[in-house]
Amino acid sequence: MKTLILVDDQAVDRRCLPWSERDCTLVGKASTNEEALELIRQLLPDYSLIEIKLPAMDDRTLKNKLGDSVPCAILTAHQDLKDFKVSSAVEHPLRRHFIWQLLSSVYEKDNEIRQQAAELGICLEADAFVLILGQVDNVARYKSKYSVKDHYLIECSMLDIIRESLTPVFPGQFELFPLEFGKFAILLLQQPSQSTEEIRNKCLQLERSIAGPLRSYLQISVTLAASGVLKSPSMIREGFIQAEKLFIYRFYQESSRSIFADGTPDFRPLTEPLRSELSGLSVSLHNKADSASTQKSLNSLYALLLLYRPEPGDVLAWLESLGSSLRRDSALPEWPAFSHIERLAEAMDQLRAWLRQRDAAYEAAEAASVRPEIARALHYIKQHLTRKLTINDIAHEAGLSPSHFSLLFKKEIGKSAIDYVLERRIELAKQYLREGKYRNYELAEMAGFAHYSYFSNTFKKYTGMRPNEYKNTLRMNIPL
């Protein structure tokens, strides 16, 4: 019989639980890390059960201090110890080894696979299976939250949460396997007579069962990819390959949800007309424009990509290529690395964040080159560009009299405040004209002009052409 020490700070006395039924004897209990260390060194138990949310469990965790001398079974705050098996201290590595052996074709015959599984307490006695792969969203960020030493603890906790969430819903109907950090496989035991719709509903029920607990306890979401029906254990490898290929389809998902082999529309090629349309929308991103207009351009890009669903790799490559034109100054922030991004929404968030950083860098450089009063005025103009602006308002923000402000602004910027505001508004209007979605009188108002005639005259003054003439040059691709 194995000896065991329980490390748990909860007030409930768990020493009375039937540990003997798990083939072990509870020889000691500690409520702090220090007590546990002393007790383990004295008694040298076979197992040490640790509450993962024990206070003071930082990077120098109890498990790290123990090293490999004492096997550790990991508990989480939500677990019911009555259902806990000490053998799970080594169960996860054995299951991981088995599934990778199976996926590597070390075991190929059904009888051999079932025999090896049975020796590990894994039930594959079913007439059909569905393999569901689960992967933590943004696994790199999730992984970086924890030290490498704690990865095993966190992985065990995640697997325990999944198992406990599924057991009441699918008793005796599933097997759970760890694959790598943040990735796992669930094998649903099926009846061949079940319809595709029944299997789909079962997978969705599984998704709902684990989503809440994982979000609540570990603050993570997972995407699930389900294979088709597998009629024998030897087909599990085929199901794994099928499910693995489905993860690319989450690229256009706005939130985590299950992906099924029979419900994934094909991607389209990134054709030249579509590439041209994307480039046209991205032109506005080259300008240091009002943030609201920048967001509109980004939203249009996002909507267009969702509509056409080009190959994700082509989209990410196109986003990478934007860096060469948008980041022309080496002093600007580094361009985001898009190649490993899982979802389009995440890519657009990265692009938005970079544009905000770029604008902040421009503002900082501009503010550093002028007096503080003028820097405040420039910031005020940027924030109120499309609203009614007067010299008195801007001067007040700068803390100067209107006359003193006007003289100082022209000296620092090289042009009058009125010219500066009008130039910025015309640049904004040109952006809207390039987008081609608004009528002239609409974009005039959006750019801060109260009357279209004034806008048209001002546009010609600063560009040498009327708004419609500017539109025509865009249609003919005349360089401006």
pLDDT of residue 3: 76
pLDDT of residue 458: 93
- The Cα 361–Cα 83 span in angstroms is 57
Which residue is associated with the tokens 């909860």?
A: 10
pLDDT of residue 68: 56
pLDDT of residue 293: 63
Closest by CA position to 278, among listed 307, 248, 252: 307
Mean pLDDT of the chain: 81
Amino acid at 391: I
Closest by CA position to 125, among listed 115, 134, 133, 135: 115
Reading the block at residue 321, the tokens are 């290529």
pLDDT of residue 213: 93
Q: Where are the domains of the chain?
A: 2-83, 88-260, 266-351
pLDDT of residue 156: 84
- The Cα 120–Cα 116 span in angstroms is 7
Please give the DSSP secondary-structure letter assigned to residue 262: T
Q: Class for domain 88-260, per CATH?
A: alpha beta
Amino acid at 339: S
pLDDT of residue 35: 80
Contacts (Cβ under 8 Å, ≥6 apart) of 89: 47, 71, 72, 73
Q: Given CATH 3.40.50.2300, say whether it is the number of domain 2-83.
A: yes
Give pLDDT tens digits for 324-347: 888 877 778 899 989 888 899 899
pLDDT of residue 87: 42
Which residue is associated with the tokens 């801007």?
A: 394
Q: Which residues of the chain have pLDDT under 70?
A: 1, 8-24, 47-91, 286-293, 295, 367, 474-480
